Structure 1
Amino acid sequence: MKVLGISPLDKDSTVSIAEDGHILFAAGEERFTRTKQQTGFPRHALEKALSYTGLSMSDFDQVCYPFLTWENEHKLFTKNLEDEKAFIKEFQPADLGPQIKEALSRVPDRNQPIHGLEHPNAIMEKGFLHNSYYNMAGVQKLSSNNAALKSSRHWGESATESFRQWENELIQGLGEMGWTGPVKRMEHHLSHAANSFLCSGYERALCVTLDGYGSGLAGSVSEARNGKIQRLHGLPYPNSLGTLYEHVTSSLGFKPSRHEGKIVGLASYGDPQILGDVLLSRIQQTPGDFRIYEANNVFFSRYLASKFPKIDVAAAYQYVLEQVATNYIRYWVEKTGIDTIVLSGGVTANVKLNQRIFEIEGVNHIFVYPNMGDGGCGTGAALYHSWPGGVKPSITNAYMGPDYSESELEAALKAQNLQYRRPEHLAAEVAALIHGGEVVARFDGRMEYGPRALGNRSILYHAREPEVNQWLNNRLGRTEFMPFAPVTLYEAREKCYHNIKGAEHAAEFMTITFDCTEFMQESCPAAVHVDGTARPQLIRREANPGYYDILVEYEKLSGIPSLINTSFNMHEEPIVNSPDDAVRAFMQGALDYLAIGPFLVKHPNPVH
Structure 2
Amino acid sequence: MIVLGISPLDKDATVSIVEDGKILFAAGEERFTRNKQQDGFPAFALKQALAYTQLTADDIDIVAYPFLEAEQEKVLFTKNIAKESQVITQTDTSNLSSLLNQAERKKSVRTDVINGLKNANEKHEKGVLKQIFYKLAGTNSWFSKIVAKHESNKWAKEAELSFSQWQDELTSQLNKLGLSDKLRRVDHHLSHAANSYFSSGFEQALCITIDGYGSGLAGSVSIAENGKFKRLAEIDYPYSLGTFYEHVTSSLGFKPSRHEGKIVGLAAFGDPQVLTEVLLSRFIESAGNFKINQANNIYFSRYLASRFSKIDVASAYQNVLEIVTQNMVAYWVKKTGISNIVLSGGVTANVKLNQRIFAIEQVKQIYVYPNMGDGGCASGAALFFSPPKTFTQSISHCYFGPDYSTQEMETEIIANNLSYSKPEFLAKEVAELINQGNVIARFSGRMEYGPRALGNRTIMYHAKEVEVNQWLNKKLGRTEFMPFAPVTLFEARERCYLNISGAEHTAEFMTITFDCTEEMIQQCPAAVHVDGTARPQLIKRETNPGYYDIIKEYEKLSGIPSLINTSFNMHEEPIVCSPQEAIKAFLHGEIDFLVLGDFLIKHPKITET
Q: TM bucket by the smaller chain?
A: over 0.9
Indicate if the aligned counterparts of 2:223 and 2:230 stay in contact, CA closer than 8 A: yes
Aligned partner of 1:260 in structure 2 is 260
Distance 2:383 2:51 in 1: 20
Structure 1 position 519 matched with structure 2 position 519: yes
Aligned partner of 1:150 in structure 2 is 150
1:406-485 matched pairs, under 5 angstroms:
406-485=406-485
Aligned partner of 1:594 in structure 2 is 594
Letter in 2 for 1:237: Y
Indicate if the aligned counterparts of 2:94 and 2:141 stay in contact, CA closer than 8 A: no
CA-CA distance at 1:392 after TM superposition:
4.6
Letter in 1 for 2:190: L
Aligned partner of 2:391 in structure 1 is 391
Distance 1:391 1:300 in 2: 45
Report SS of the residue matched to 1:153: helix
Between stretches 383-392 and 432-441, larger displacement belongs to: 383-392
**Residues 129 and 563 of structure 1: CA distance in aligned 2, closer, same or farther (over 3 Å):** same
Distance 1:153 1:211 in 2: 20
Distance 2:554 2:389 in 1: 43
Aligned partner of 2:48 in structure 1 is 48
CA-CA distance at 1:90 after TM superposition:
1.3
CA-CA distance at 1:178 after TM superposition:
3.3
Structure 1 position 6 matched with structure 2 position 1: no
Aligned partner of 2:113 in structure 1 is 113
Indicate if the aligned counterparts of 1:94 and 1:281 stay in contact, CA closer than 8 A: no
Aligned partner of 1:95 in structure 2 is 95
Letter in 1 for 2:110: R
Distance 1:256 1:355 in 2: 22
Indicate if the aligned counterparts of 1:227 and 1:392 stay in contact, CA closer than 8 A: no
Q: Work out the number of aligned pairs and report it.
A: 608
Indicate if the aligned counterparts of 2:400 and 2:447 stay in contact, CA closer than 8 A: yes
CA-CA distance at 1:226 after TM superposition:
1.1
1:131-210 matched pairs, under 5 angstroms:
131-210=131-210
Indicate if the aligned counterparts of 1:486 and 1:537 stay in contact, CA closer than 8 A: yes
Distance 1:308 1:295 in 2: 20
Aligned partner of 1:320 in structure 2 is 320
Q: Per-residue CA shift, 1:68-111, capped at 9, x if unaligned? A: 00000000000000010111111112422221122112111100
- Give the TM-score normalised by the residue count of structure 1: 0.99
Aligned partner of 2:86 in structure 1 is 86
Report SS of the residue matched to 2:564: strand
Indicate if the aligned counterparts of 2:20 and 2:389 stay in contact, CA closer than 8 A: no
CA-CA distance at 1:176 after TM superposition:
2.2
Distance 1:229 1:601 in 2: 50
CA-CA distance at 1:466 after TM superposition:
0.2
Show structure 2 runs of 5+ residues with no match: none
Distance 2:212 2:55 in 1: 34
CA-CA distance at 1:389 after TM superposition:
4.6
Report SS of the residue matched to 1:273: helix
1:202-601 matched pairs, under 5 angstroms:
202-387=202-387, 389-601=389-601
Report SS of the residue matched to 2:273: coil
Distance 2:91 2:440 in 1: 56
Distance 1:579 1:176 in 2: 31
Percent of residue pairs bearing the same amino acid type: 64
Distance 1:200 1:243 in 2: 27
Q: Per-residue CA shift, 1:104-133, capped at 9, x if unaligned? A: 121111001100000100001201011010
- Give the TM-score normalised by the residue count of structure 2: 0.99
Letter in 2 for 1:405: S
Letter in 2 for 1:589: G
**Residues 537 and 505 of structure 1: CA distance in aligned 2, closer, same or farther (over 3 Å):** same
Between stretches 180-189 and 589-598, larger displacement belongs to: 180-189
CA-CA distance at 1:175 after TM superposition:
2.1
Between stretches 59-68 and 380-389, larger displacement belongs to: 380-389
Taking only aligned residues, the RMSD between alpha carbons, in angstroms, comes to 0.9
Distance 2:122 2:584 in 1: 36
Show structure 1 runs of 5+ residues with no match: none
Indicate if the aligned counterparts of 2:68 and 2:186 stay in contact, CA closer than 8 A: yes
Indicate if the aligned counterparts of 2:61 and 2:182 stay in contact, CA closer than 8 A: no
CA-CA distance at 1:148 after TM superposition:
0.7
Report SS of the residue matched to 2:563: strand
Letter in 1 for 2:149: L
